Chain A
Amino acid sequence: MNARKTTARLVVAVAVIASFSAVADNVIIRDPTFEELASLTVTSVTGTARPHFTSPAATHILTAEELHQLGLRSIPDALRYAPGMQVSQLDSYRWSVSARGFNSIAVDKLLVLVDGRSVYTPLSSGVYWEQNAGVHHDLDRIEVIRGPAGSVWGANAVNGVVNILSKSARETQGTALTVGTGTEEQAFGSFRYGGAAGENAWYRAYVNYSRHDDSELGNGRATGDGWEIGHVGVRYDREGPGSRLFFKAEAHSGDFEEPGQTPAPTPPYETSIRDGFNRGGFVQASWSQRLTNGAEFAIGAWYERLERRLQPIDERSDTVDLGVRYGTQLGDHTVNAGALYRYVDHQTSPSFALTFSPPDHTLHQWSGYLQDEIQFAPRFSATLGVRLEDAPFTGREWQPNVRLRWSIADEHSLWAAVGRAVRTPGIADESRNYTIRVFPPGRFGPGSPPVRQQVLGSPGLKSEVLLAYEVGWRGRWSNDAMFSVSAFYNDYDRLMLFAPQALDTVTLAPEFWRLPLTPNNAGSGQALGAEFTAMWRPTLHWRLFSEVSYLDLKVLPSEYELARVLTGSSAQLQASVRSYIDLGQDWEIGLGLRYVDELPALNVDSFMDAELRVAKQLSQGVKLALVGKNLWQSRHAEFRSGSFPLDSYIERSVYLALTWRR
């Protein structure tokens, strides 16, 4: 065999493969010979099958392909198609994203990670979605784990974990450019270039930008919440024998028009709001090494800087996070252990509406976990996990978890789990002094000064606790049909509620009186629910997905207004269907249909909605897509709240996008 000729053939073959694979993500080897196959080295151990969890938990994966083919450009929009997730868009850049209930303006029981980096804010334990919402070229998948995952992921993984993962730089070689315009997404563009950085090492550099139109008020006027954001970043991946090195750095800058009014000390006791911003960046690195005994050791670290002023908060923070992980196989036991340390330096600037006392916090948080998966019979396994955490305000917290799995057949497994998870108080719960509104003078009797209605923090708060009981069944018939069912009973205790206090005529006198709301741990709650997902591929070119979620959540005691609101602010029934048709080489059609039940406590009606994307490949690597979003009705409301008094509606929208890859 002529070696040089073989190499030349391979170069051509792989070049063709590569230009195809940039589009299809599948590498197909045409006309192989035994010599060529034996000379190829393996780049990936996992192949290209749709990844699916085998872990005994209620998990769901949305692949980037599924999102792109529906034209979904934001992570919250994508999560509408994950079972058990509640997504309500408040206005153009605010979303309530929660799992298994507790839909609110500041969801605090969901942990969100981007490439392993936690993106929740220590202030309120919520997520600043405006900064993390974008679905970019190089997203790989979103993994959604419903139910408590605190034993592995740590505090605040109470009702679920959302894991947003981007592709390895190895898989994003070459150039990709997208430009688009639409009625809501007025202008967007992204550019990526990926190349090799020596043997077994790859990089990519990327930049993206998007500008979004306002949502609409009840009276048809613009809300005044247009925004724009840009990201620029690099990622580097190196794979050696048994080792992986990963580095990522990114900076972002976003500017936001702020709708509504904010309380003010002088008549008319409210004022319009300056434009807001969110700027920051991070660097992140991780390294894993397989040891000679088969064990694996990994270490990772990241640093993030954030400067953000969006009503009512004006804050700056520096976060450093260090983690180590070790996993090994000991007979029938698969043991994983890890430790994490996080340092947060958080500063706020006081305003009339919101102050923190003290304004600055330095937090140290450490935790360690141990997990043992025991294969105690050929078809039975048990996973025992526990995490010990030293939380900033409450001290030590235990989060144990037990999971059992029974493989009833090769592709069918039953699982059951019991777990305890905690949501630890954040800085805001401890130390906020938030004026919601100011009542003008004379409202509380003749001669009374203006009265500030305030939400206060309380330093003695304990963690909210969840005990969760779950069962599930996951099955699949070949690669063409699969389904999962899960049911759960969640028992919450020490939920944080707000108790109205008597009119305080002393503290702020003589300028103001105040009407405070103070937090306590008086709440308890029960949630009963079930989720169903199915995937079916009737033909190679047609895939169907369906998700159904049911949730019955009750928060007590109902004397508390917040308890009544939480009880009635999560959709009891949600259902969705997605259809993806690949019409030959050139045309793709993606259709998504959703139903969301009413939110009685928020005065939000049930609604149907639809997404449609039609795309045509104009030539090799060039694709044009026309996407319609929220098509079912001209506009609809998804959320209303007393602390977010805007009556804003989400409008029907379309956009056109052109993608060029090579």
Chain B
Amino acid sequence: MRWLAWLMFVSAAALAANVSTAPEYSIKAGYILLFTRYVEWPKGAFTSADAPLEICLLGTDPFGSVLDKTMAGQRSQHRALNVRRLPDVQAAQGCHVLFLGSATLEQTRQWLDALAGEPVLTITEDPDALGHGAALCFVREIADGKARIRFDASLPSMQRAGLSASSQMLVAARKVHRDNPGI
């Protein structure tokens, strides 16, 4: 197997110039994996001590198989991870993480209203949704002509959902809304 190591070394050298780049949704899938490890859900959110942690997608799915492959074989908080794609918001029962794919703000608001009070970590890509009950939002940070993916967090939204995020995660956020944004 030594030749395999060489092979990897060679490709690492060839790619050293672009070592710090990755597709947008590969990065976002990585974030979602981390969120499942740094957010605490209320006990009642799980049907049993070893029930899997459900990661759900609603609306347009931009991930393809990347999300499934990122979660495959991983565990968070001693739970298996399960990825589900939802036909509508009513099917969100039992979801712990819910990614809301691109939609109009109006549509996103309807979904968030339907989820109000549920112990679901809602993630959107529209910063305005944080004021309407979304817990997290992916944002692009553009510096030196390069885009990086960060996230904003809304503590009031998380509190209403009964969730708490660890300080390590909040330190990594670009911005943490501690009150209702806009007020």
Contact = CB atoms under 8 A, between A and B. Distances in A.
A501 interface: no
B148 A621 contact: no
Interface stretch (B19-27, B40-48, B154-162, B175-183): B19-27
A15 B66 CA distance: 18
A175 B146 CA distance: 27
Interface string A633-662: 000000000000000000000000000001
Contact of A41 (B7, B31, B85, B147): B147
Interface string A605-642: 00000000000000111000000000000000000000
A240 interface: yes
Contacts of B34: 32-34, 37
Nearest to A197: B17
Interface in A1-45: 10-12, 14-19, 22, 26-29, 32-45
Interface in A40-58: 40-50
Given A34-B169, A42-B22, A479-B61, 4 more contacts: A22-B11, A34-B171, A40-B149, A662-B10
Interface of A: 10-12, 14-19, 22, 26-29, 32-50, 170, 173-174, 195-196, 198-200, 202, 240-242, 378, 410-411, 477-480, 540, 619-621, 662
Given A479-B85, A662-B10, A28 B21 contact: no
A42 B149 contact: yes
B65 A42 contact: no
A477 B84 CA distance: 12
B115 to A, nearest CB: 16
Contact of A42 (B11, B14, B24, B63): B24
Question: Is chain B's interface secondary structure helix, strand, loop, or mixed overall?
Answer: helix
Contact of A10 (B4, B20, B24): B20
Contacts of A540: 65, 68
B49 interface: no
Contacts of A620: 4, 7
Contacts of A410: 59-60, 103, 107
B100 to A, nearest CB: 11
Contact of A48 (B12, B64, B85, B148): B64
A43 B106 contact: no
Interface string B101-136: 001101100000000000000000000000000000
A11 B19 CA distance: 6
A53 to B, nearest CB: 13
Given A42-B27, A48-B65, A241-B145, A28 B70 contact: yes
Contacts of B23: 27, 42-44, 47-48
Given A26-B26, A37-B149, A173 B64 contact: no
Nearest to A378: B104
B27 to A, nearest CB: 5
Given A19-B11, A47-B23, A26 B145 contact: no
A25 to B, nearest CB: 10
Range of interface residues on chain B? 35 or more
B166 to A, nearest CB: 11
Contacts of B31: 32, 34, 37
Contacts of A43: 18, 21-24
Contacts of A12: 12
B62 A49 contact: yes
A21 to B, nearest CB: 9
Question: Is chain A's interface secondary structure helix, strand, loop, or mixed overall?
Answer: loop
A27 B103 CA distance: 25
Contacts of B14: 173-174, 195-196
Nearest to B146: A41
Contacts of B19: 10-11, 14
A628 B8 CA distance: 34
A41 B20 contact: yes
B183 to A, nearest CB: 28
B121 to A, nearest CB: 16
Interface string B70-90: 100000000000000111000
Nearest to B149: A42
Contact of B12 (A15, A240, A477): A15
Q: Which of B16, B22, B65, B70 has the most CB of A within 10 A?
A: B22
A378 B140 CA distance: 26
B124 to A, nearest CB: 15
A17 B69 CA distance: 12
B29 A15 contact: no
A10 B30 CA distance: 14
Nearest to A43: B21
B22 A29 contact: yes
A41 B148 contact: yes
Contacts of A11: 12, 16, 19
Nearest to A410: B59
Nearest to A33: B34
B81 to A, nearest CB: 14
13 contacts: A10-B20, A15-B8, A15-B15, A34-B172, A40-B148, A42-B23, A42-B140, A43-B21, A44-B23, A46-B24, A47-B24, A241-B142, A480-B85
